Structures are given as C-alpha cells and as structure tokens.
Amino acid sequence: MPKRIFAALFVLAVLFSSSAIAKYSSQPTNQDTPLVVKKCSDFTINGKGDNAEWKKTEWVALKKIDAGGKEHKSLFKILYSPAGIYVLFNVEDEKITSDYKNDFENLFTADVVEVFFHTDPSFPLYFEYEISPLEKELVLLIPNFKGNIGGWIPWHYEGKRKVQKKIIIDGGEMKSNAPIKGWTAELFFPYQLLSPLQNVPPVSGARWNANFCRLDYDTGKAVKWAWSPVITSFHEYETYFSLVFE
C-alpha cells in the first residue's frame, strides 16, 4: 500500500476552523460513569501482559454485538504514564483469519482488535488503531463530520512517534489460518504520536471518550465486539464511553 502523508496543515485547518468549531462545540461529553485510568510507571512491553504495573488495574469485558460465531471472551486493560497510554487485549479465538502481510492495509476486513481515542469530545476528530494477530497495524486520524469519514496516516511515523506493539499467540503459530486458543496484544501509544489532538497528554481529572473493539472473521463474516454500545459501526463516536484519568 503506498505511504500517504498525515497532512498536518489540513488537520490544523480543521481544528481551528471557527465555523466547524461553532457547529460542533455543543456536543456534550458522554455522561456515563467513566472508567478510571490508573497511573503507572513506564515499562517495556513483551506481549504477555505480565509486568507488575498491570496489577494496578482490572480487566474490562467487551460485549459481543453481532449474531453468529462463538461467545469468545474478549478483555482489555488500560493505564497511563508520563510518556503515553498502555493498552492490553486478551481474546479467545479458534483460528487466525487474516492474510495481511503488511502494515496499513485494510486490516479491518480480517481479525483485529481496535482502539479509539476521542480526546476532545466537543469535536469530531479521533484517533484509531488496529492490530491483527499477525502483528500488522493500521494507524489513523479520523475526521468524522456526520458520517463523512476520512482517514489520515501519520507523517514521520518512526522512532519515539511509533506505537510499540507486541502480539503473543496462545496455543498455535503466528501464521494465516493457524488453529489457536487465543491471542494477546500489548500496546503503548506515545503522546508524541497523539500530540496533534487536544487534551494530550492527559492531566489528572482529564476526560476522554474512547472505545475498545474486536472483529473476528472465523465464520466467514464480520462478528463485532465493543466496549461502548455501537450498533453497526465502530465509528459511532457519539456513543463512546468515557475515560477519566486518575
């Protein structure tokens, strides 16, 4: 897939367009009971989720929202540090249904877990991240104006700006169509990557909206899991639940 530019000038123009801000600034932050994101010290991920820092927080379950397929357990954890956000997924599975061998392909048409950070709920711009059990990733900034959705990949996505990622496969090999028991994805999102967004880095008491999702294609069609109550699309950002930082 050809590499595209993040288009920083476009993003700045969108963020600071007075007409757009006036149009959307009345949208309220989700008023659910927020998930408290605990503070942690920075650590090195290994895909196992066995660092002692993870003991500071509990697993949260994703809800299966489509018919078909099995009720595979799908869980996530989240922490934040002085340098970025840590996310850990643990999902049951029976097969790696993905043939993608490169990053930034259409990974969402195969098995993935996904993270959405809507750091400023007053404005329809959010961060999306997808990772497959083959450890391939898709990183996007999404402007979503009433369903008119764009997708911009990062510019200079390298060094300390890159997401740190590690996949561990349980009960099988990391290869297409391999039978497995499940997989974990351990991720670190540096603030240097998220910094074009508002409310980054988060301070104590800051509130973001977010979603944590899964797609599984073992039945031959997409079966979705999500933390927040989306109906048909993970891009229903108005329904995202809230995070509040400790």
In order of their start, the domains of the chain are 8-25+33-245 (2.60.40.1190)
The residue ranges of the chain whose pLDDT is under 50 are: 1-29, 31
- Round to whole Å and give the CA distance between 192 and 81: 13
Measured in degrees and rounded to the nearest 5, phi and psi for residue 212 equal: -130, 125
pLDDT of 30 reads: 55
Task: Give whole-number Cα distances, 120 to 28, 34, 210, in Å.
Answer: 10, 15, 10
pLDDT of residue 9: 31
Query: Alpha-carbon dihedral of residues 41, 46, 52, 57, nearest 10 degrees?
Result: 80
Q: State pTM to two decimals.
A: 0.88
